[in-house]
Amino acid sequence: MALRIAVVGGVAVALFAVLLFRLWDLQILSGGHYLAEAKNNRTREYKVIAPRGDILDRDGNVLVDNRTSLALQLNTQKLPEDPAEEKAELARLGQLAHMSLRKVRRTIDEQEEVAAGAPVTLRKDVGYDLVYYLEENQRRFPGVVVQRVFVRHYPDESRAAHVVGSVGEVSEEELTEAPYKGLEPGDEVGQGGVEYTYDKYLRGRPGLTKIQVNALGQPTPGGQLVSQPPTPGDNLKLTIDPEVQAAGESALASRGLPGAFVTMNVDNGQLLGLGSFPTFDPTIFTEPMTQSQVNELYRDPELGLLTDRATESYYPTGSTFKIVTALAALEGKVITPSTTIFDGGKLTVGTQSFQNAGGASYGPLTLVPALEVSSDVFFYELGLKMWDTGQLQRWAAKLGIGQESGLDIPGETEGLVPSKKWREELVAEGLAEERPWSAGDNIQLATGQGDLQTNPLQMAIAYAALGNGGTLVTPHVGMEVEDAAGRVLKEFDPKPRRRIKIDPGHRAAIMEGLHLAAQGPQGTSYGVFGGFPIEVAGKTGTAQRPPHADQSWYAVLAPYPDPRIVTIVTMEEGGFGAESAAPAALQILEAYFDKRASSVSAAGTGLAE
């Protein structure tokens, strides 16, 4: 018996030792770890979404703001544990949200993968009737909440769509990048246009509410620990002029041809209008898209709606390029403004013959009339004179052609100015036929043909440099960041890229040629601008872009002789410059000057100031 009692006593000692050791381990050795876990346990953090800043035009009109929307969200942890009950609830939810059970499950899985534990958004923009129904039947829908969310709203639909861009959920890749530090999956960031470039100003900071909860996740009385309200994003004011933008968009839309327009202040690079056709309503990005919508949007980058033809295109420019040729020839002392060149209707170099458009011949010409009538032969001769000097390419580069401009909208293209070196490289890489750079190549380039690839924005910058006497501006659409009260927090005035030395006499000659081309009786666009009350300097362009029909261009500086703005319009397959692009440019200028005239007359009556 004594043995049996001793055995039990020994076992008891061992058992108590085990308990005490375990207690020691938990409380003394690992206590800190468990204390942290316990503290973490009892708080829930709720993020309060910050509304994104508005995007305004230069007059303060809203281009993009937010609307609040009711989103049907599901807290998956609160779903019934029983699989059959869970299935029943999801099916009921699906009926409410007009989704199949399979789609509901897929939505949950997809969002759980990105942000496990976060509420799953089943459907945005649910109606109030659904909210009331859910409130009345709360018990049948555990875990279902209706959350107020902010959705981007575009009051003028497609207005300046390529400029403003769109927002979307931050991608996993972006989350690892510095500008998106501190964001979480599901947060919305700018994904294009100024929404992307100025995201850090527009985004705002989410608020945080920390609540002490019990094990069921229910707030405990007086359990609100921290409440930090969200900071709304700041508003972004663009340089876009509403009238100019509207005129440009309607001019493009009325012809229905793919094309683009750029209107820019020649002195500081502020873009008053920037548009591309066909265009889109960014609202589509705020809603779930059907596959056919996705296909329509992305089917072809060259033809697609999303491509901004003002900045992302690769076009030859036709005769609008002639100012580059003229500047290169004058500044390179190849000709002077009084040098006469005979235009016999064509120029023959070796076996190649280059003709004027329409078979015209203008006889002996100096630069000014050559620009007025847009003699090709005159400029062919200049191209021939400079064919292996590289002067033309140098001046194109000086004027920013074939270079990214530093525009504050992502996606602009570099383009290409063909040169001897480029040709040789191409041949060396076996990408082109075995043929050296020829006079013919340069002759083509002199009139904006051949392998030249540029876009309306680059042309606007080049024309602006001519107009302002040699400053290569940095184009931009961002003007100011304002807080909600309208106080300016930051102004954007990017420095010019460089100054080019242009002889004032040379500039004056070219400007005169352009002025006559627009408003002289012999001018190529006299039919369009002849009756315009404000003096302008404009140049037509008709670019051959096989296999397409000719592309119509127009470049205009106004007012002449000291321009404030430059407008470039191009329309694919629009024919002669004067035919479609020039009338569109006229519409834009009318809008610009009408507005100024009316504000001047308002000032005259003493109403202003």
Instruction: Please pick, from the candidates 68, 214, 227, 353, the single residue that binds another protein as defined by CB under 8 A.
Output: 214
Instruction: Please pick, from the candidates 8, 303, 597, 608, the single residue that binds another protein as defined by CB under 8 A.
Output: 8
- Could you tell me which of 283, 308, 266 has the C-alpha nearest to residue 465? 266
Closest approach of another protein to the CB of residue 25, in Å: 9
By CB under 8 A, tell whether 23 contacts another protein.
Answer: yes
Choose between 77 and 176: whose C-beta lies nearer to another protein.
Answer: 77
Alpha-carbon separation of residue 80 from 22, 110, 121, 326, 549 (angstroms)? 36, 20, 18, 78, 65
**Tokens at residue 369, please?**
């009339």
Site size for another protein, by CB under 8 A?
A: 36
Q: Dihedrals φ, ψ of 377, to 5°? A: -60, -40
**How many C-alpha atoms does 59 have within 13 Å on its Cβ side?**
10
Closest approach of another protein to the CB of residue 114, in Å: 21
Closest approach of another protein to the CB of residue 215, in Å: 4
Instruction: Please pick, from the candidates 66, 69, 121, 212, the single residue that binds another protein as defined by CB under 8 A.
Output: 212
Rounded to 5°, angle at Cα 248 from 398 and 554 = 45
Stretch that binds another protein, among 14-22, 295-303, 564-572, 574-582 (CB under 8 A): 14-22
By CB under 8 A, tell whether 225 contacts another protein.
Answer: no
Sort strands 235-238 and 55-56 into parallel, antiparallel or unpaired.
parallel
Instruction: Please pick, from the candidates 118, 175, 213, 508, the single residue that binds another protein as defined by CB under 8 A.
Output: 213
Rg (CA), the chain: 33
Choose between 35 and 488: whose C-beta lies nearer to another protein.
Answer: 35
By CB under 8 A, tell whether 20 contacts another protein.
Answer: yes
Stretch that binds another protein, among 18-26, 98-106, 233-241, 429-437 (CB under 8 A): 18-26
- Could you tell me which of 408, 121, 196, 156 has the C-alpha nearest to residue 283? 156
Mapped onto helix, strand or coil, the DSSP state of residue 327 is helix
Residues 40-59 that bind another protein (CB under 8 A): 41-42
Closest approach of another protein to the CB of residue 93, in Å: 21
Report the alpha-carbon distance of residue 67 to residue 151 in Å, rounded: 5
By CB under 8 A, tell whether 31 contacts another protein.
Answer: yes
By CB under 8 A, tell whether 34 contacts another protein.
Answer: yes
Report the alpha-carbon distance of residue 491 to residue 477 in Å, rounded: 11
Dihedral of alpha carbons 277, 278, 283, 284, sign: negative
Closest approach of another protein to the CB of residue 30, in Å: 6
Report the alpha-carbon distance of residue 520 to residue 530 in Å, rounded: 7
By CB under 8 A, tell whether 421 contacts another protein.
Answer: no
Under DSSP, the state recorded for 49 is: P
By CB under 8 A, tell whether 108 contacts another protein.
Answer: no
Question: Residues in the site for another protein, rule: CB under 8 A?
Answer: 1-2, 4-5, 8-9, 12, 15-16, 18-20, 22-24, 26-28, 30-35, 37-39, 41-42, 81, 212-216, 220
